[in-house]
Amino acid sequence: MIKKNQKNTELKKIISPQKLQAGDTVAIIAPAGIIKTGKKSIKTAQSLIESWGLAAVLGANIFEENNHFAGKEEQRLKDIQWALDSPKIKAIWCARGGYGSIRIVDKINFEGFKKNPKWFIGYSDITVIHNQLNNLGYETLHGMMVVNLEEDSKNIKNSIKSLKAGLFDSLDTYEIDSNKANRFGKSKGILIGGNLTLLTSQLGSSTQLDTRNKILFIEEIGEYKYHIDRMLQSLKRAGYFNHCAGVIVGDMMNIKSNIPAWGCSVEELIMNVLEPYDFPVAFGIPAGHMPENQALIFGRSIELSVTESKTKITF
């Protein structure tokens, strides 16, 4: 069994953006895919933001369409650059993911953001931006996006509640019933990660994460088991898990069946890859593409406790 690195690696100081206060401004942008629900979800988000005592502003190109994308690259880049640079804006909420963030991330200038750090909110394709900001030493908020407000589910209320808590106050300690696939243990480390496909696609790039002594979160949607295995094997070969402090597995949603059958559950698949390591592994965390998408603070030092009865995540 490969033991995680016990030495404390020197980490840059992590900067946490200021908590929101009444009167602050939140920008809504679409850095990736088009907003298929049009203005309806945007209006819902604006009303929600205003109900919190905040002001909502929209990126100038948010309703643009360029085939799959929410506008041309220069339009999407212009909106995200505007939101990052403006000292007035205290949080940036991505309207949706889809695909496209990886096409503009290397063109973003983060110097204005460094002068006025702000919360960056999203998940899925937005993983790329999370990873870049975390690498620069800033906390970000992995949570629901604007289009999720249209989902008809009581669970969406929990997502909204945790998002608001992350922005205004602090996240609760999450306690989740134990999963039979879990590997028990306790650890502490900075939480990083995101969508498995996006993490794999960044291997060898400037936005690849440094996982040493970190707790890695992964989630996925709509993939075949063989593809999940291939991505995990790619991360493993690149040394991604060698010195991890732990792995948290969120929603693995709408996993497609292999023909012929893969022969095991997605939990067993993941544990087969992680078998050589000794860090704790927690399954069943309600974060990712399901309606209940609890907010997580990437870049935050957390405590992970995985026991026979429950998983506990303390921010």
Backbone phi, then psi, for 126, in 5-degree steps?
-70, -10
Question: How many beta carbons lie within 10 A of that of residue 5, not counting itself?
Answer: 13
Q: List residues bridging with 246 in a β-sheet.
A: 215
Strand, helix or coil for residue 178: coil
Q: How many residues appear in the chain?
A: 315
SS3 81: helix
* Rounded Cα distance, 225 and 4, in Å: 27
Catalytic residue at 308?
no
Catalytic residue among 101, 139, 219, 305: 219
Residue type, 82: W
Identified catalytic residue from 41, 101, 124, 159: 124
- Cα gap 196→201, rounded to integer Å: 9
Query: Cα–Cα distance between 311 and 281 in angstroms, integer?
Result: 9
Instruction: Name the residue among 118, 156, 152 with its Cα closest to residue 138.
Output: 118
Q: Is 47 a catalytic residue?
A: no
Helix boundaries (H) for 137-281:
155-168, 196-201, 225-237, 266-274
Pairing state of beta strands 174-177 and 185-195? unpaired
- Judge whether 243 counts as a catalytic residue: no
Catalytic residue among 130, 223, 289, 305: 289
Q: What does the radius of gyration of the chain's CA atoms come to, in whole angstroms?
A: 19
Distance CA 178, CA 194 (A): 22
Which of 16, 315, 308, 277 lies closest to 188, judged by CA? 315
Catalytic residues: 124, 219, 289
